[in-house]
Amino acid sequence: MTFGSIARRGGGWLPLIGISSLVGALATLALPTVLGRAVDGVVADSATNRWLLLAGGLVAFGVICDLIDAFAGKACVASTTAWLRERLIRHLLGIGPSATKDRHFDVGDLVSRVSSNAVDAAHAGPSAITIGAAVVPPLGSLVLLALIDVWVAAAFVGGICLVVLVLRAFTRGTAVVFTSYQQTQGQIAARLTESLAGARTIAAAGTLARERQRVLEPLPELNAHGINTWRVLARSAAQAAVVGPLALVAVLVAGGLALAAHRITPGAYFAASQYAMIGAGLGSLTSVFGELARARAGIRRLAEVLTVDAVRYGNRRLPDGLGQLEFRQVGVRSRDRVLLDGIDVVLPGGVTTAVVGRSGSGKSILAAVAARLTDPTEGEVRLDGVRLSDIRRDVLRTAVACAFERPVLVGETVGDAIGLGRPREQTIAAARATNAHTFVSRLPEGYDTALVDAPMSGGERQRIGLARAWHAKRLLVLDDATSSLDVVTELQITQTLTASTANRPTRLIVTHRVDTAARSDLVLWLEDGRIRGFGPHRRLWEQPAYREVFA
Ligand SMILES: Nc1ncnc2c1ncn2[C@@H]1O[C@H](COP(=O)(O)OP(=O)(O)OP(=O)(O)O)[C@@H](O)[C@H]1O
Q: Give the pLDDT confidence of 204-244 residue by residue, as tens digits.
A: 888 889 999 999 999 999 999 888 888 877 877 777 777 77
Q: What is the 3-state secondary structure (H, E, C) of 457-509?
A: CHHHHHHHHHHHHCCCCCEEEEECCCCCCCHHHHHHHHHHHHCCCCCCCEEEE
What pTM value is reported for the model? 0.71
- C-beta 363 within 6 A of ligand 1: yes
User: How far does the centroid of ligand 1 lie from the alpha carbon of residue 533, in Å?
Assistant: 19
Q: Which residues, 6 or more positions from 165, have their beta carbon under 8 angstroms from its beta carbon?
A: none
User: How far does the centroid of ligand 1 lie from the alpha carbon of residue 340, in Å?
Assistant: 10
User: How far does the centroid of ligand 1 lie from the alpha carbon of residue 401, in Å?
Assistant: 20
Q: Which atom of ligand 1 is nearest to the CA of 98?
A: 1
Radius of gyration of the chain (CA): 35
Report DSSP letters for 503-533, one per residue: TPPEEEEE-S-HHHHHHSSEEEEEETTEEEE
Q: Which atom of ligand 1 is nearest to the CA of 339?
A: 12
Residue 283 is predicted with a pLDDT of 61
Beta pairing partners, 534: 524
Q: Which atom of ligand 1 is nearest to the CA of 365?
A: 18
User: How far does the centroid of ligand 1 lie from the alpha carbon of residue 360, in Å?
Assistant: 5
Intervals of the chain under pLDDT 70: 1-4, 7-11, 47, 101-104, 280-284, 498-503
- C-beta 290 within 6 A of ligand 1: no
Q: Which of 364, 404, 516 most suits a substitution to test ligand 1, by most atoms within 8 Å of the C-beta?
A: 364
Residue 499 is predicted with a pLDDT of 65
Quick one: how far is CA 355 from the chain centroid?
A: 36
Residue 545 identity (one-letter amino acid): A
The answer to whether the CB of 185 falls within 8 A of the CB of 116 is yes
Distance, in Å, from the CA atom of 278 to the CA atom of 262, rounded to the nearest integer, reads 24
User: How far does the centroid of ligand 1 lie from the alpha carbon of residue 227, in Å?
Assistant: 43
- C-beta 365 within 6 A of ligand 1: yes
Please name the residue whose Cα sits nearest to atom 25 of ligand 1. 359
Please name the residue whose Cα sits nearest to atom 17 of ligand 1. 364
Domains of the chain with CATH codes? 3-306 (1.20.1560.10), 325-549 (3.40.50.300)
The total number of residues shown for the chain amounts to: 551
Strand order in the sheet with 400-404: 400-404, 475-479, 506-510, 352-357, 522-527, 530-535
Rounded to 5°, the CA angle 431-436-438 comes to 110
Distance spanning both ends of the chain, measured CA to CA: 54
Strand residues in 335-411 grouped as ranges (E) = 337-347, 352-357, 378-383, 386-387, 400-404
Q: What is the biggest distance separating any 2 CA atoms in the chain, rounded to whole angstroms?
A: 119
Please name the residue whose Cα sits nearest to atom 9 of ligand 1. 365
Residue 356 is predicted with a pLDDT of 96
Distance, in Å, from the CA atom of 216 to the CA atom of 185, rounded to the nearest integer, reads 10
- How far, CA to CA in Å, does 495 sit from each of 363, 434, 506, 518? 22, 10, 15, 11
Coil, strand or helix at 303: helix
Residue 98 is predicted with a pLDDT of 77
